[in-house]
Amino acid sequence: MIVASLTLKNISKSFGKVAVLREVNVHVEEGAFCVLLGPSGCGKSTLLNIIAGLTPQDSGSVLVDGHPVDRLTPRERDVAMVFQSYALYPHMTVGQNLGFGLRMRGVSGEEIEQKVRDVATLLGIEKLLGRKPRELSGGQRQRVAMGRALVRQPKIFLFDEPLSNLDARLRANVRLELKQIHQQLRGTVVYVTHDQVEAMTLGDQIVVLHEGRVRQEGSPEDIYSRPADRFVASFLGTPEMNLYSGRVTNREGRAVFEGKGFSLDLAVTLLEHVNEEIEIGIRPEDVRINDAESPGLQAEVEMVSNIGSEIYAHARIGGARITVKAPKEARLNKGQTLSLATVPGALHVFYKGRRL
């Protein structure tokens, strides 16, 4: 399989007076699995259509292996796209659907048959080749849609929220299969989703988009552990990060965050922001429940969420709410008072929306 790198330089796009993309710059190494992640309306599907050549950009350039492809048709760009809707031909069998793109390119019947068989085996649908789409389940149809892209062996695979029509359990299974397929083929993938779990599971590289701009780009670990701004911090994580607005004060040479009815010690370096407004973020798993007698933030439990594998306490500290990931053996009740402490080094600090 021939794989290629992808570079987007200053891509901008507007529909009428609405700016959908604003000077987007992204580089995807060959063989990488890049996820475009963001809420609905952030421009990620539009960006994918621009890469495919289905939508022209207003400015900027798309480069494949360093060569501009802006003047090339979708077919000439040698990319394959998998849509949210399966877009299968209902009158064709699975085998005919898989081989359709190759037939349109004049590939010989013998070669088509071999490639279809290979991809069907890879996806575990070899027994379905004689069926029509109406005879398939949603998961099987999605595998056929992916197979139609795989059989072409393009330079770049483009996926536009391909699993969103599947139920949660099936989506998790197909997600794992897709990850395994990528590890086998090592093709270059650009994958659009609004599902952060999907992005963290699949991506080598995540590009977080919001309001048409790239807010952060990096590995899943970097983006989760060191969010670049308040939006990324709040968007990634389930339950989401606890975020609080307050002011930095100097308490006997120590920088202290004064929130709504509570305070937290900060790094000494933040003394330069004394009397300034900042935001702090604490992920639920970075809050520790101390023994009742231990000093710490005093929180009153308002609700407990037990989802089987994890327990979360939803509590109140001062005038703010906090979500805490509790040990599985914890016995928590509404109205109970907890003593809380943050894990050292796990506090996220934002000044004017940007990470400090």
Same domain flag for 191 and 79: yes
**Listed residue (157, 119, 179) closest to 30, CA to CA:** 157
Residue 247 has pLDDT above 80, yes or no: yes
Complete edge-to-edge strand list for the sheet that includes strand 337-342: 287-289, 337-342, 297-306, 311-317, 320-326
Same domain flag for 103 and 218: yes
pLDDT recorded at residue 326: 93
pLDDT recorded at residue 292: 64
CB atoms within 10 A of CB 296: 15
pTM of model > 0.75: yes
- Give alpha helix (H) positions in 163-219: 168-185, 196-202
pLDDT recorded at residue 1: 67
Residue 173 has pLDDT above 90, yes or no: no
Compute the C-alpha angle 247/250/255, nearest 5°: 75
**Listed residue (80, 61, 69) closest to 8, CA to CA:** 61
**Listed residue (18, 13, 85, 19) closest to 51, CA to CA:** 13
Q: Give the structural domain span for 247.
A: 242-355
Cβ(325)–Cβ(302) below 8 Å = no
Q: 274-304 pLDDT, tens per residue?
A: 999 999 999 999 999 987 666 788 999 999 9
Residue 12 has pLDDT above 70, yes or no: yes
Same domain flag for 270 and 185: no
pLDDT recorded at residue 53: 96
Same domain flag for 176 and 261: no
CATH code assigned at 97: 3.40.50.300
Same domain flag for 47 and 96: yes
| Single-letter residue type at 176 | L
Q: Give the mean model confidence (pLDDT) for residues 227-234.
A: 96
Q: 23-41 pLDDT, tens per residue?
A: 999 999 999 999 999 999 9
Same domain flag for 213 and 181: yes
Same domain flag for 72 and 170: yes
Same domain flag for 321 and 172: no
Q: Residue 236: inside a domain, yes or no?
A: no
Same domain flag for 255 and 303: yes
Q: Give the mean model confidence (pLDDT) for residues 209-238.
A: 96
Q: Which of 44-48, 62-66, 170-174, 184-188 has the lowest mean pLDDT?
A: 170-174
Among residues 203, 228, 253, which one ends one of the domains? 228
pLDDT recorded at residue 165: 78
Q: Residue 234: inside a domain, yes or no?
A: no
Same domain flag for 344 and 277: yes
Q: Residue 246: inside a domain, yes or no?
A: yes
Mean pLDDT, the chain, integer:
92
Same domain flag for 277 and 219: no
